[in-house]
Amino acid sequence: MANDGVNDPVNAGRRKFLTATTAVVGAVGAGFVAVPFIKSWSPSTRAKLAGAPVVADISALQEGQRMILEWRGQPIWIVKRSQAILAALPGLDGRLRDPDSENAEQQPDYVLAENRQLRSIKPEISVLVGLCTHLGCAPEMVAEIRPEPYDAQWKGGYFCPCHKSRFDMAGRVFQDVPAPTNLVVPPHHYADDNTIVIGVDPQGGV
Ligand code: FES
């Protein structure tokens, strides 16, 4: 397995971090509750400066929930999407700026291999850098399918309050908003069914 940057020198450190990452799972319900980004859960400063990979245990992540981690100083979102959300994504293509993710800088190619609309390795699990591609604000996750003031046909997604950019639940940007590109999908892979390693792609590269 690739070095995950958190299991040296002792496994105890890794266990501690996995526990911490599990703890960031947030509540959902009628109103989604965003989980605050807590910097103290990041790996050691030395590992962070080196851009070390970050390991996330997603076994407790439920549909509609988001886990927030830090990798290379950026917030990383891991979101478990419902079947209803996945089913709604193709219908949005005509309203998006880059529905097929043709801008290759915004994601690694392996997240497009199975389904370009989902932008993920596993259909239900979306991994994104949580920074708006306009000027870097933190978009809000609005995961419910229901009319919103900014979009009567809202199918769930991310809304940036800074200048009203909108993205769908795959991080694909809508037309006619300031953000020029889809949200970034960071390099990542699954060490096992419930363990995501952020920062290392499936072939072991970074
Ligand atoms: S920073 Fe998000 S819309 Fe401007």
Residues β-bridged to residue 74: 71
pLDDT score, position 146: 97
- CA-nearest of 133, 125, 121, 118 to 178 is 133
Choose one of 129, 132, 184 to mutate for the ligand 1 pocket test, by most ligand atoms within 8 angstroms of C-beta. 132
The residues lining ligand 1, judged by C-beta closer than 6 Å to any ligand atom, are 132, 134-135, 137, 160, 162-163, 165, 178-179
Q: Which residues of the chain have pLDDT under 50?
A: 1-41
Tokens of 43: 């790996």
Instruction: For residue 45, count other CB atoms closer than 10 A to its CB.
Output: 8
Domains of the chain by range and CATH? 11-198 (2.102.10.10)
What is the sign of the dihedral through the CA atoms of 41, 44, 49 and 52? negative
Distance CA 150, CA 162 (A): 13
Give me the residue label for tokens 């037309």.
175
**Backbone conformation region of residue 94, classed left if phi is above 0, alpha if psi is from -120 to 50, else beta:** alpha
pLDDT score, position 51: 79
pLDDT score, position 20: 41
Question: Per the omega criterion (within 30 degrees of 0), is the bond before 99 cis?
Answer: no
The alpha carbon of 131 and the centre of ligand 1 are apart by a number of angstroms equal to: 9
Determine the residue type at 141: M
pLDDT score, position 16: 41
Distance CA 42, CA 58 (A): 16
Tokens of 108: 């690694």
- Closest atom of ligand 1 to 135 CA is 1
pLDDT score, position 204: 73
- 0.95 surpassed by pTM: no
**Residue of the CA atom closest to atom 3 of ligand 1:** 163
